[in-house]
Structure 1
Amino acid sequence: MNGVGRPEGQAAGGRCAYQGAPGAFSHEACLDLRPWDEPVAYETFDAALAALFAGEVHCALIPVENSTIGRVEPAATLVEQSGLVQVSDVWRPIRLALMAPHGASLRSVKTAESHPIALRQCPASLASLGIEAVEAFDTAGAARAVAEAGDPARAAVAPARAAEVYDLSILRNDLQDSSDNRTRFVLLSRPEG
């Protein structure tokens, strides 16, 4: 299996579940890989999969593996135990950006908030900047929280697109420790019958 294109005969304009806030890597994957679908955000992987089972959405795009850290948990286990059909999968490059409110600088930033999986992809980069990692429920959710706080000592680690969504300044691109940082996303649907 490779890619998450629209299967032959499938109508355009469905709904695709993802975990996270708008601007998250999973949201970005939905926009780029399923542009004909409406991306629908859920706070947890459980909630995204439950929405698929309930028929609120027709598919879900879930990250299950990362080239730097291995399995993305709890997502990988939830997918394996779900009984859902894996339609396809695709590896996507993951580029982490350090973002903060306008006027902040690398000198003013003391903490960087993000999903634990994202933080595990850039510990050396954060350490070299003297920035403390702070876990949050989601990459884009962290960006939203940093934007709302407006504190120049707080930054987020998230996709560059999140800086646009939440009106933040990017202080550093390519924060990931590995230049070949990639995540495998699986496209899931309900079983037939």
Structure 2
Amino acid sequence: MNQQQRLHNEILVIQAQQGATESLEQLIQCWQDRLWRLAWRLTDNEQAAWDVTQESWFIISRRIDRLEDPSAFSAWAYRITSNKSRDWIRRQQRVRRADDTYAESREETQCHQVNQQAEKLSDALASLSGHDRAVLSLRYEDDFSISEIAEILRIPSGTVKSRLHHARGRLRHLIEDTKDE
């Protein structure tokens, strides 16, 4: 920034301190891009940079009358934008930590529920007859087709279908009974 631009800036600051909104608007036009670039470099987020810049201008406009040295405007504006960027980063870190804690808690709850369900299923399967367990195991654990199960058990496919149907019904009934407990 050359001497003439610095002088122009100082005049705009003095006028803005005296309440001239046009001068503040000119300062915003002159400094908006620079402050946004700083915020973007610090936050590494385009939308956050706009939000931070807007917050910075709000602070600048409310406190410009407190700036004792108009030639220090650029450093002052950069410091405000830098502080607002750090505030944004801290908020994001808190949000991430809260999200991580929530996700871990939710994951633990889901794992616990899955483990409980698996335990109930295992208990229910253990209480079924050998025929029922065999047909269910071949179909759902080993992923055999109806015709393959028929060949393995040396029974007709219709019998396999019937046994599967009844075994699923008995299993469902056992699981529903454990829900009521």
Query: Structure 2-normalised TM-score?
Result: 0.17
More helix by share: 2
Normalising by structure 1, report the TM-score: 0.16
User: Which structure has the larger Rg over C-alpha atoms?
Assistant: 2
